[in-house]
Amino acid sequence: MRHLLEPTNLTIEEIDQIMEQALDIIAHREKYADACKGKKLATLFYEPSTRTRLSFTAAMMELGGNVLGFSDANSSSVSKGETIADTIRVVSCFADIVAMRHPKEGAPLIAKRFSGIPVINAGDGGHNHPTQTLTDMLTIRRELGHFDHLTIGLCGDLKYGRTVHSLIKAMSRYEGNRFVLISPRELKLPSYMIDEMKTSGIPYVEYDSIEKAMPELDVLYMTRVQQERFSDKAEYERLKLAFILDEEKMKYGKENMIVLHPLPRVGEITEGVDNDPRAAYFRQVENGKFVRMSLIYTLLKWRSEEDNIKERQLMKDTEGKKCDNPHCITTKEPLAQEFYIDTKGIKRCNYCDHEI
Ligand code: NCD
């Protein structure tokens, strides 16, 4: 079963397929109106969210499916001390697919291990946020037309910014991309990311100002300093507005560059920038819904293809077989499930327990 915990869980070809399908959804909305009819998405949000949860909900509704879940862990059994492993086992009985956000890094991996349905990571602590990355990529695709040979500036909280980590992981797989990192010293990329970039030979430079980076950039990805991940509130206050993008700085940018932001913004982009045609962050929000529609539909489709393959294999294995117990149902009805069960070396009919 396929899950999406980080962007590299999908191959480049699969990402292309999801992008193409998202574009098709945009062009032919009506075609997908019943694509997930009868299916249920569970949204398990252990951490606050507006955009992501609503975007998942709207996406499933536009596919004709239903949504259940919680947006506040305190209103679920989590507040009684239930583990993720148990919650996901229970949710697997009620839903067909789950989108989960959790403040702890790696939480979706636990969920995946115990889940009977596909798990989508909707953000785990300061670690990953792959559906935001798909959103960012669909925006790049629609605005710039390609994923290669781009200079991508990432500005703000590169340490705790999960959207930044996932975007670098995804975009560094394409040829000719180069990254410009702009952050306070205290909020640089985590060392595991830097090490990975160094060993894989991914080109990057670090700049100490937006103005300096601006003329080189095709994409400027602004981020909020992640207040909720700071243990020292005074440090947050000191760093929160270290880098601000305003109209003046936009003057240094190329004519066809774009500004992205996963939102919410809390002062790092001034409102004056919103009217600049290169400000793509509100268009980006809408792309989030379309790409999540494409993702949910694809994961559910893969799941049912997998079930069909299993079912066909089972049919093949049991073809023409019947139990020699004349009272067994298999002498009358075709087999739909495994014929034998093997208990301590003794083969028995799965239907009547008769020894074969
Ligand atoms: C981002 C997140 O939750 O990581 N927001 C989002 O998903 N739209 C970025 C942020 O909260 O700063």
Residue 70 is given by DSSP the state E
Q: Which atom of ligand 1 is nearest to the CA of 161?
A: 4
Give percent of the chain with pLDDT exceeding 90: 81
In DSSP terms, which residues pair with 100 in a beta bridge? 44, 121
- Residue among 40, 53, 127, 129 flagged as catalytic: 129
Position with higher pLDDT, 77 vs 1: 1
- Give the Cα separation of 102 and 100 in Å (integer): 7
Determine the average pLDDT of the residues in 104-130.
Answer: 96
Q: Please calculate the CA angle 214-224-141 and round it to the nearest 5 degrees.
A: 55
Give the pLDDT confidence of 273-310 residue by residue, as tens digits: 999 999 999 999 999 999 999 999 999 999 999 888 87
341: pLDDT strictly greater than 80: no
Q: Is 198 a catalytic residue?
A: no
Tell me the H-state helices in the chain: 12-27, 51-62, 84-94, 107-114, 130-144, 162-171, 191-199, 210-213, 233-239, 247-250, 281-318
Output the CA 269–ligand 1 centroid distance in Å.
Answer: 15
Give the pLDDT confidence of 208-233 residue by residue, as tens digits: 999 999 999 999 999 999 999 999 99
Output the CA 198–ligand 1 centroid distance in Å.
Answer: 26
335: pLDDT strictly greater than 80: no
- Closest residue by Cα to residue 42 from 107, 128, 111, 106: 111
- CB under 8 Å to 69, separation ≥6 — which residues? 41, 42, 43, 44, 45, 95
Q: Which atom of ligand 1 is nearest to the CA of 262?
A: 8
pLDDT of residue 306: 84
Q: Give the least confident one: 52-61, 214-223, 228-237, 328-337.
A: 328-337
Residue by residue, what is the 3-state secondary structure of 39-50? CEEEEEECCCCC
As given in the structure block, the two tokens for residue 201 are 């030979």
Identify the residue whose C-alpha is closest to ligand 1 atom 7: 52
Please report which confidence band the pLDDT of residue 334 belongs to, taking 50, 70 and 90 as the band edges: low
337: pLDDT strictly greater than 60: no
pLDDT of residue 91: 97
- Residue among 8, 51, 229, 303 flagged as catalytic: 51
Output the CA 127–ligand 1 centroid distance in Å.
Answer: 12
pLDDT of residue 73: 82
As given in the structure block, the two tokens for residue 130 are 């792959």
Please report which confidence band the pLDDT of residue 77 belongs to, taking 50, 70 and 90 as the band edges: confident
336: pLDDT strictly greater than 60: no
Q: Are 102 and 258 in contact (CB under 8 A)?
A: no
Give the mean pLDDT of the chain: 93
Output the CA 216–ligand 1 centroid distance in Å.
Answer: 26
pLDDT of residue 38: 97
Please report which confidence band the pLDDT of residue 317 belongs to, taking 50, 70 and 90 as the band edges: low
Q: Are 160 and 188 in contact (CB under 8 A)?
A: no
Q: What are phi and psi of 26, to 5 degrees?
A: -60, -40
Q: Is 278 a catalytic residue?
A: no
Please report which confidence band the pLDDT of residue 331 belongs to, taking 50, 70 and 90 as the band edges: confident
234: pLDDT strictly greater than 70: yes
pLDDT of residue 325: 87
Q: Is 146 a catalytic residue?
A: no
Cα 286 to chain centroid, rounded: 16
316: pLDDT strictly greater than 80: no
Substitution candidate for ligand 1 out of 43, 132, 227 with most atoms within 8 A of CB? 132
pLDDT of residue 329: 81
Q: Which atom of ligand 1 is nearest to the CA of 122?
A: 7
- Residue among 40, 101, 127, 159 flagged as catalytic: 101
Give CA separation, 101 vs 60, 104, 116, 178, 202, in Å: 17, 9, 18, 30, 29
As given in the structure block, the two tokens for residue 144 are 């710039």
**SS3 assignment, position 153:** strand
pLDDT of residue 338: 64
The CATH architecture one would assign to domain 7-129+286-303 is: 3-Layer(aba) Sandwich (3.40)
Output the CA 343–ligand 1 centroid distance in Å.
Answer: 52
- CB under 8 Å to 348, separation ≥6 — which residues? 340, 341, 342, 354, 355, 356
In DSSP terms, which residues pair with 41 in a beta bridge? 67, 97
The CATH number given to 131-285 is 3.40.50.1370
Q: Are 281 and 304 in contact (CB under 8 A)?
A: no
Give the pLDDT confidence of 154-200 residue by residue, as tens digits: 999 999 999 999 999 999 999 999 999 999 999 999 999 999 999 99
Looking at the chain, the domain(s) classified CATH 3.40.50.1370 span 7-129+286-303, 131-285
332: pLDDT strictly greater than 90: no
346: pLDDT strictly greater than 80: no
pLDDT of residue 182: 98
Q: For ligand 1, which residues put their CB under 6 angstroms from it?
A: 51-52, 123, 129, 132, 162-163, 224, 262-263
pLDDT of residue 353: 81
Residue with tokens 């947006």: 71
**SS3 assignment, position 328:** coil
- 66-70 vs 40-45, strand pairing mode: parallel
The model's pTM is 0.89
Q: What are phi and psi of 120, to 5 degrees?
A: -110, 125
Q: Are 170 and 7 in contact (CB under 8 A)?
A: yes
Amino acid sitting at position 329? I
Residue with tokens 């009684």: 80
Output the CA 48–ligand 1 centroid distance in Å.
Answer: 10
